Amino acid sequence: MDSLYDGNKKSKSDLKLFLKNNKAPKWRQRNEDDGKDYNPSEEEQEIVNLALHLRRPILLGGDPGVGKSSLAKSVNYTLDCGTLLHWQITTHSLLQEGLYEYDAVARLQNVKDTDEDNRPIGHYVTLGALGSAFVSEDMRVVLIDELDKSDIDFPNNLLHVLEEREFPMPELARTGEKEHKVYNDDGELIDIELENGKLKCNIFPLIVMTSNNEREFPPAFNRRVLMHNIVFDNGAKFEERLLSILEKHLTIDISMQTKVQNIITKFIAKVRDEEVQLSTDQLMHAVFLELKESSDSEIDEDRLKKIWHKLSE
């Protein structure tokens, strides 16, 4: 495996050459076909189809690394829904971020600038992930990631918008006009129309919310969503499934098959015998790096220890 950092000063050309010769793993690159290689279980397929029929949001629970976000990307890719609308939730997230943002400061500066024509108020409005999905002419997939990190009122406030399928835009409503031009999540200037000062949903999107099960949600919230828990299955077909995942993401030469099989065996033993919580991408990382070595070299055990760290205690 090529090494670059050794404590000694390097030139920019050294870094460029390293990056050229050492491409990032396939799953660490942003591609239009992100989600192409995901294998959904029958239960996952069913929960998605139920959501499509019932127009209900999905709440996916499970430990980190089990594929919750990957399922949303898979649905988005296989149903050809365009760019995935991704809303990453943090402890500071507000519902407004997912609906739209109004840049009042920029508008004030523009008004004060006598050398520049005043733009319509809608030009200072940018729709968030959910707002963009509401106005789309086609069904979109919205991934609301790590909902359990939000504050206590956020889930119910979010569900209210999804139930009503509309939200007010008072900054635009005050103009008395129905039609406006605003920016969507992709930065495109689009036409929208308000009804009684509210932006209504055109086609209900497929909403996939994820949770690492770090908190419980209110019963009123749970009643209005479709819930599914993705479990890291290490049962009878565990080895077969791991090999299938590796073959989809990596090109494994015949000379490396024995080494790869040994790594899989070690991974399974770690999960089953030592009961260490690991994820499949930790296995892919280990195999990816070992494929850079010669086929007859020993597996780097110290490297495995660094990569296969516990996800939780």
pLDDT recorded at residue 261 = 92
Mean pLDDT by 10 residues, the chain (313 residues): 88 92 81 74 94 96 85 94 95 95 86 67 94 96 96 93 96 94 93 96 97 90 93 80 85 88 92 84 91 87 90 68
DSSP secondary structure string, 19-72?
Answer: HHHSPPPGGGS--TTTTTT----HHHHHHHHHHHHHT--EEEE--TTSSHHHHH
* pLDDT, tens digit, 9 for 90 and up, residues 28-55: 776 656 777 788 889 999 999 999 999 9
User: Is CATH 3.40.50.300 correct for 42-229?
Assistant: yes
| Residue ranges of domains in the chain | 42-229, 234-307
Nearest alpha carbon to residue 65 among 230, 292, 215: 230
Angstrom distance (rounded) from CA 50 to CA 17: 49
**Which of the 8 DSSP states describes residue 165?**
T
